A and B are shown apart, each in its own frame.
With several copies, the nearest count.
Chain A
Amino acid sequence: MSAGTYVALLDGGKREESLRVERIAPGLYEVTLRGVTHRVDAFRQDHGTVSLLVGTESYSVQLDERGNGVRVHLRDSVFPVEILDERRARMRRPPGKLTAEGRVALTARVPGRVVGILRPPGEAVREDEGVLVIESMGMENEVKSPKDGKVAEIGVEVGQSVECGALLAIVD
Chain B
Amino acid sequence: MPERRPIQKILVANRGEIAVRILRTCREMGIRTVAVFSDADRGALHVRLADEAVHVGAGPARESYLLPERILAAADRTGADAIHPGYGFLSERADFNRACRAAGLTYIGPLPESQEAMGVKTSARRRMQGAGVPVVPGSDGPIADEAAAVAEAERIGFPVMLKAAAGGGGKGMKRCDRAADFPKLWQAARRESASAFGDDRIYLEKFLDGPRHVEVQVFADEHGNVVHMGERECSVQRRHQKIVEESPSPVVDEPLRAAMGKVAVEAARAVGYVGAGTVELLVDASRNFFFLEMNTRLQVEHPVTEMVTGIDLVRLQIEVARGGRVPAQDEIVRRGHAVEVRLYAEDPARGFLPSPGKITYLRIPGGPGLRDDSGIYAGWVVPSHYDPMLCRLVAWAPTRPQAIDRMLRALAEVHVHGIATNVHYLRAVLDHPAFRSGAYDTGFCTAFAKELLKPPDPALEPIALIAAAVAAHRRDHERAGEFATRAHAPGSTWASAGRTRAMRGEA
Contacts and interface: CB of A to CB of B under 8 A. Distances in A.
A72 B464 CA distance: 6
A83 B470 CA distance: 10
A1 B179 CA distance: 60
A47 B361 contact: yes
A6 to B, nearest CB: 5
A43 B507 contact: yes
Given A46-B378, A47-B360, A110-B354, A139 B388 contact: yes
A74 B386 contact: no
Contacts of B412: 75-76
Contacts of B151: none
A58 B47 contact: yes
A38 B43 contact: no
Contacts of B472: 4, 6, 21, 83, 85
A50 B467 contact: yes
B505 interface: yes
Given A45-B43, A51-B43, A59-B467, A137 B387 contact: yes
A27 B506 contact: yes
Interface string A136-157: 1111110000000000000000
A76 B427 contact: yes
B470 to A, nearest CB: 5
A23 interface: yes
A26 B470 contact: no
Interface string B319-357: 000000000000000000000000001100111011110
Given A45-B379, A56-B78, A62-B417, A140 B467 contact: no
Interface stretch (B123-131, B186-194, B252-260): B186-194
A52 interface: yes
Contact count band on A? 35 or more
A133 B469 CA distance: 41
A168 interface: no
B53 A56 contact: yes
Interface stretch (B108-116, B219-227, B366-374, B493-501): B493-501
Interface string B372-414: 0000011110001111100000000000000000000000100
B468 A63 contact: yes
A64 B505 CA distance: 18
Interface string A95-123: 00000000000000111110110100000
B469 A83 contact: yes
Contacts of A110: 353-356, 384
Contacts of B427: 76
B462 A46 contact: no
17 contacts: A6-B473, A33-B466, A40-B466, A44-B506, A45-B43, A45-B379, A56-B54, A58-B50, A58-B52, A60-B49, A75-B412, A76-B412, A81-B464, A85-B472, A118-B184, A138-B195, A138-B388
Given A110-B356, A138-B171, A141-B353, 8 more contacts: A4-B476, A21-B472, A48-B361, A52-B467, A52-B507, A56-B53, A76-B457, A137-B354
